[in-house]
Structures are given as C-alpha cells and as structure tokens.
Amino acid sequence: MDTITDPTRHRILTGDRPTGRLHLGHYFGTLQNRVRLQDIGVELYVVIADYQVLTDRDVADDLTGHVEELVLDYLAAGVDPARATIFTHSAVPALNQLLLPFLSLVSVAELSRNPTVKDEIAHSRQSAVSGLMFTYPVHQAADILFCKADLVPVGQDQLPHLELTRTIARRFNDRYGAGVFPEPEALLSKAPLLLGTDGTKMSKSRGNAITLAAGADETARLIKRAKTDTDRHIGYDPVGRPEVSSLLLLAALCLDRTPSQVAHSIGAAGSAALKKVVTEAVNEYLAPIRARRAEYARDRAYLRTVLREGNERARAVADTTLAEVRAAMNSL
C-alpha cells in the first residue's frame, strides 16, 4: 500500500530502540512521516523497544536516560501524546507474553534466514549473539499485533520482516480457528537515503550523524568534515557522486527544493560552498525543533507523564488482546 484513502480506519505501529538520540536520517526517514500520519487522523502507536537493547551494556546502563531522550525527540518533532500512544516494552507485560505463543508458530530455520536477524548478527558489538536478539523479529511481530495494527510503515528492505509478522498472524488464526489478528500491510516508505558525514550509512553508533539535539555550531563542524570529492562543479548524481548527492539531498529536504535545484544554485563554487548551503539550511530548518526540544527538556516530569499515560493506554489494549489469545487457545 502506497497511500491511505481513509486514515481514521487504520492503526499504525512504529517505533525505535533507545540506543541514542535520533538524527536527521531518522527525522526525514520516519519521524516526519509519523507526524504526517498522526495529523491526517491515523491512530498511531509508537513503541520504545527498551527490552531489545538489554544485550547492549553501554545502553542498558542508562536505559531510563536513553528512553527520555527518545521521548524528547518525538515531542520536538511534533508527535502529539494526546493523539499518539508512546509506550515502552517493559511497561506492557501482556505484549511480551505474546512472544511465547508466537515463537511456537515459527521455525528456527525461518528465524535464521530472516534478514533482520542476519543484519543484527553482522553488526553486533557483542562476542556472541543472545537468544533475545535471535527472537527479535518475533518480538517485533508482537509489537505490531498486540494493538492489531493493520499498517506498518517500512522500506523495501524491511518487507521480509513484515512478511514474518503476516505469517504469524495467519498461522495463529488458522491453528486456533479465530480471526484474532489482522495480516498487516506494508505502508511503503519513500524515505530518502541520507549518508553519514563519512560517506557510509548514517548511524548513531558510527558517530557520523547530525542529531536533532545537536547545536548549530556542532552541526557546522560535522558538515564541514563531511566527505565530498574533488570535482568543483556541484551536481546531483547519487550513483557517481554519492557523498555530494547526499548533502544536496539534505539541503533540498530542508529547503523544500529538489537536489538538482540546489546543485544549480551552487554551480562550480565547490564543496566549501555546498557545505555552507547545507549548514545554513539544516540549522534554519532545525531551529524550531531544537527550541521545542530544549523547552521539553526543562520539564522531565512531563516526559514521565507522557510515558505513564501512554503505557496505561498500551497496557489496556494489550490486556484485551492477550485475553482474546487465551480464549482462542483455550488456555488460562
């Protein structure tokens, strides 16, 4: 599915792992779209997947702080807790109880060949991959199905994971003779691919990203050291000149122009001029977001209220779903 014709008929689940502050790749890739969906009337659930980072000691040692940083980014970007449910894994026991019956519906082989698992194993900083990480796709299925989300915003690379969620929903319904779960559809994202300042994938862990919380001076320093090339004429060519093109795309997103238009305005002025344009565009675009973030950061009690109320709403939904699952399975 590429578009939504009747927003009020749909429920969407999306979320993040609390491994650090969100950056411009997250904003233009997901956050901006979440706010758009919320604003057109879609029922939005946003999970902070704190259980999924328990294997990372660096993160788990300050998990509360990382969770609050995510909430700050959400609120600053425009997610409205009065219209969206923001919650954490750890606060919704019934959601996590769905993991066991769901695991019984998939094979070890299916988990082993899941691209999400393969990617997590490849990029793990641990000496060994835990069982929690191995079951990651099934836990994500529980995230989606506990609230019976029927749409999930994903990119093309995430379709195999969503297909596993659809498989679990279908197998549960077939095995227990009850239409408890919908088979959620993909809401295909046309999110732009922004590279990090080193020319690789933008990532919190690689230190190559501009966070929403970064100040104007820090942003300028990061962009100044961004990788480009030796051609002074600035042109948009994502295949042949990926680093220059990513900077052009970033400026274009902030200026509401096309990358080619931005490139044309710079011409043969070189990478220094390009970086100046990008820096000014990013700082101007982020200024109101950063101001809201700083204001919310001064009231940590409000952040905890947002989470408490979101957790309460999520628990009520999860308890109802778990009761339906137990009834269908004829279990206690």
pLDDT digits over 166-225, tens only? Answer: 999 999 999 997 789 999 999 887 778 889 888 888 877 777 899 999 999 999 999 999
| Contact of 99 with 139, CB cutoff 8 Å | yes
With H, G, I as helix, E, B as strand and everything else as coil, classify residue 266: helix
How far is Cα 246 from Cα 101, in angstroms, rounded to an integer?
A: 44
| Contact of 234 with 244, CB cutoff 8 Å | yes
Looking at residue 226, what DSSP letter applies?
-
Q: What is the pTM of this model?
A: 0.91
| Strand pairing class (151-154; 185-188) | parallel
pLDDT > 70: what percent of the chain? 93
Tens-place pLDDT, residues 59-97: 667 888 999 999 999 999 999 999 999 999 999 999 999
- Residue 127 is predicted with a pLDDT of 61
Backbone angles phi, psi at 44, to 5 degrees: -115, 130
Partnered with residue 86 across adjacent β-strands are 46
